[in-house]
Amino acid sequence: MAVPADASPLRKLALFVGPGLLVSVGYMDPGNWATAIEAGSRFGYALLFVVVLASFSGMLLQSLCSRLGIATGRDLAQLSRERYRPGVARGQWLLAELSIVATDLAEVLGAALAFHLLLGVSITTGVVLTAFDTLIVLAL
């Protein structure tokens, strides 16, 4: 959605608050912070530098992607497909898909374990239930 040039500053702010809130909640995942705090309790301040550096790196990348989207109206995947040869673009797509799978693996196994503990089903059945509830959410 384009920001109208004659919109009031409050209206312009309101147009950016929603997407900004979604991105910040998605990045500042409570599970990530819980893991970081638990690891910090084991390793003390030795791990603090890594957590701070990773947080700043994530914020920098999100800022750059936001600027790219605002300036061009397209996302990084679209621009990469236009700029690189088809083979390179497919390689980038494959690496992105593998990264998504690796990131979501912990979430799927965690949900499967929760189904196992709550319902007494096997882990395999828990994975199937997790896949099914993910499809339900996507359908909604």
| Enclosing domain of residue 54 | 30-73
pLDDT tens per residue, range 34-77: 676 777 778 777 777 777 788 888 888 888 888 888 889 898 88
Positive or negative torsion for Cα 14, 19, 20, 21: positive
CA distance 138 to 126: 18
* Percent of the chain surpassing pLDDT 90: 16
Mark which of 22, 46, 73 sits at the end of a domain.
73
Residue 114 pLDDT level (bands cut at 50, 70, 90) = confident
Residue 47 is classified by DSSP as T
The mean pLDDT value for 21-32 works out to 62
Residue 75 is classified by DSSP as -
Whether 135 and 95 share a structural domain: yes
Within the chain, where are the H helices? 9-27, 30-43, 48-72, 76-83, 86-119, 123-139
Residue 11 in domain? no
Residue 8 in domain? no
The count of domains in the chain is 2
